[in-house]
Amino acid sequence: MSPRAIALIDVNNFYVSCERIFNPKLEGRPVVVLSNNDGCAVSRSDEVKALGVKMGQPWFQLKDLAKKHGIIAYSSNYTLYADMSHRVMNILATFSPNQEIYSIDECFLDLTEFKTQNLTLYGQLIRQRIKQWTGLPVCVGIGPTKTLSKLANHLAKKHPEFNGVCVRQLIKKKCGSNVLRSVKYGASEENLLLN
Ligand SMILES: [Mg+2]
């Protein structure tokens, strides 16, 4: 049996990205979204991640850093995020007859029947359409299993050379085998990703 092609599509910094759609001035600025009662950081912009803020870090610990770097904090608005999630999932459903919604901002699409097409281009089309129709940035990872598509998605997020779409078979060609050094994978996962 020839290998399948499974895509994992994941919105980047989902809650922060939703807030940015309605307030474009937040673009390029350090933004966090806080959990219920403003307890902890549950979504971080890249600028906030670069300051070393961890997922789930309590907001009271971050007050000094926030003051120093002008971090903008939002209370979470789950009605908005659920609505944006529906829009994203409905659009993604048009790209494959086989969709599995995995979380509020992630889903798998079975692209096996599109394997004769250029999967990088297909992934870029998905990315562009989500951006154009919702304003949200997504990354796409494609591999023969769900686990590998998830790992490929991780690489697509971390390495700008993928331009948001990482197809497992092209990892070595695009980045060389050093690309996995930045991430802690088990040896067996590394073999599966590169070979
Ligand atoms: Mg996400």
Annotate 97-132 with DSSP letters as a single string.
Answer: S-EEEEETTEEEEE-GGGTTS-HHHHHHHHHHHHHH
Residue 189 pLDDT: 60
Q: How far is the CA of 139 from the centre of ligand 1 (A)?
A: 9
Residue 184 pLDDT: 59
Q: How far is the CA of 176 from the centre of ligand 1 (A)?
A: 26
Q: How far is the CA of 123 from the centre of ligand 1 (A)?
A: 16
Residue ranges for the chain with pLDDT beneath 70: 172, 174-195
d(CA 174, CA 192): 16
Q: What is the residue type of 164?
A: G
Q: What is the residue type of 157?
A: K
pTM for the structure as a whole: 0.88
Q: What is the DSSP string of 117-172?
A: S-HHHHHHHHHHHHHHHH---EEEEEESSHHHHHHHHHHHHH-GGGTTEEEGGGHH
Residue 169 pLDDT: 78
Q: How far is the CA of 3 from the centre of ligand 1 (A)?
A: 26
Residue 27 pLDDT: 95
Give all strands of the β-sheet with 106-110 in edge-to-edge order. 99-103, 106-110, 6-11, 138-143, 165-167
- Are the CB atoms for 150 and 166 separated by under 8 Å? no
Q: What is the DSSP string of 55-76?
A: TT-BHHHHHHHHHHHT-EEEE-
Residue 2 pLDDT: 80
Protein residues near ligand 1, an ion, with CB under 5 A: 10-11, 14, 105
Q: How far is the CA of 11 from the centre of ligand 1 (A)?
A: 4
Residue 166 pLDDT: 95
Burial class (CB in 10 A: 0-12, 13-18, 19+), 73: middle
